[in-house]
């Protein structure tokens, strides 16, 4: 029996000599892993790609798996190719990061319309952006909220009392503890922490309200943006229980570019 859903391709791997294993996140079924048989054979014969491109959205028709095996691709109708993502490395790596995190934190058979909307909105924003830092920050905040891990910024996440007002050294943010920490609890923080200025914390709260699409127009000073990126990417790493591979690769490339 065939199944049909709107989906976005978040990962693909070669399988054998002619096929591919594809990972989609879908609105109706959550994550779907399936095999696209023979698509690489057709690609060679036609001297072009056949089958879904990364980050494209479309209508997916497939045969569900009968056991723990892979579903089988029947038909793919592309609706939004998001061609802008591939035109700039910064966009491509941002999209890869989003896809990696969605794949790692979602499950097959556990759909979330809210998570799918966040994925689609983020990739749409990335496809036309010149810089992606605020978009990724809004994505991470939305993701953490959906997971029930939204950072606490108004109260101390350890003792529950109202956090300190901004001091000269900034406000302490603990990714492991889940948010801001007051001065009295600073010595109880587990793991690395980040110092946020009052402006950075206010910007984080603003990005949490606006979402990725509106984050395109948000401009932040480096002294605010850098600690926000460190704090939120660390919070996502805590949810993953590992550092995202994509961010490590992006940082390596950025360092190589600066060293030239």
Query: Would the pLDDT of 166 be above 80?
Result: no
- Residue 49 has what pLDDT? 46
Query: Would the pLDDT of 253 be above 80?
Result: no
CB 105 within 8 A of CB 143: yes
pLDDT digits (tens, 9 = 90+) for 214-226: 999 999 999 999 9
CATH of domain 1-81: 2.40.50.140
Mean pLDDT of 163-167: 60
Pairing mode, if any, of strands 3-15 and 19-26?
A: antiparallel
- Residue 48 has what pLDDT? 37
What are the Cα distances from residue 240, in Å, to 14, 146, 176, 245? 25, 14, 12, 11
- Residue 182 has what pLDDT? 87
Q: How confident is the model at residue 125 (pLDDT cuts 50, 70, 90)?
A: very high
Q: How confident is the model at residue 47 (pLDDT cuts 50, 70, 90)?
A: very low
Mean pLDDT of 195-210: 93
- Please give the helix or strand (H or E) that residue 60 lies within, else none: strand 57-63
Query: Would the pLDDT of 210 be above 50?
Result: yes
What are the Cα distances from residue 258, in Å, to 87, 191, 221, 224, 253? 21, 30, 20, 21, 9
Q: How many CB atoms lie within 10 A of CB 84?
A: 17
Domain ranges of the chain: 1-81, 120-259
Provide the token pair at 232.
Answer: 């939120």
Residues ≥6 apart with Cβ < 8 Å to 122: 98, 135, 136, 138, 139, 142, 212
Instruction: Determine what percent of the chain is predicted with pLDDT higher than 70.
Output: 88
- Strand locations in 146-252 (E): 171-174, 179-181, 194-196
pLDDT digits (tens, 9 = 90+) for 97-107: 999 999 999 99
51 Ramachandran zone, left/alpha/beta (phi>0; psi -120 to 50): left
């Amino acid at each position: 029996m065939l199944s049909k859903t709107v989906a976005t391709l978040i990962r693909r791997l070669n399988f054998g000599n002619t096929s591919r294993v594809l990972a989609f996140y879908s609105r109706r079924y959550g994550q779907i892993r399936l095999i696209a048989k023979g698509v690489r054979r057709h690609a060679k014969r036609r001297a072009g790609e056949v089958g879904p491109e990364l980050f494209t959205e479309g209508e997916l028709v497939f045969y569900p798996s009968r056991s723990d095996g892979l579903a089988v691709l029947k038909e793919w109708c592309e609706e939004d190719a998001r061609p802008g993502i591939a035109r700039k490395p910064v966009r491509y790596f941002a999209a890869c990061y989003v896809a990696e995190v969605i794949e790692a934190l979602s499950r097959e058979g556990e759909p979330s319309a809210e998570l799918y909307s966040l994925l689609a909105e983020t990739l749409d924003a990335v496809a036309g952006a010149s810089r992606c830092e605020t978009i990724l920050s809004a994505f991470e905040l939305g993701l953490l909220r959906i997971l029930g891990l939204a950072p606490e910024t108004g109260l101390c996440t350890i003792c529950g009392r109202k956090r300190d007002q901004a001091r000269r050294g900034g406000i302490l943010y603990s990714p492991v503890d889940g948010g801001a920490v007051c001065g009295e609890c600073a010595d109880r923080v587990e793991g690395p922490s980040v110092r946020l200025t009052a402006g950075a914390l206010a910007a984080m709260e603003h990005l949490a309200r606006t979402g990725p699409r509106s984050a395109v127009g948000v401009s932040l000073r480096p002294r605010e943006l850098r600690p926000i990126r460190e704090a939120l990417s660390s919070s996502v790493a805590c949810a993953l229980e590992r550092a995202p591979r994509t961010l490590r690769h992006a940082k390596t490339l950025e360092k190589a570019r600066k060293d030239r």
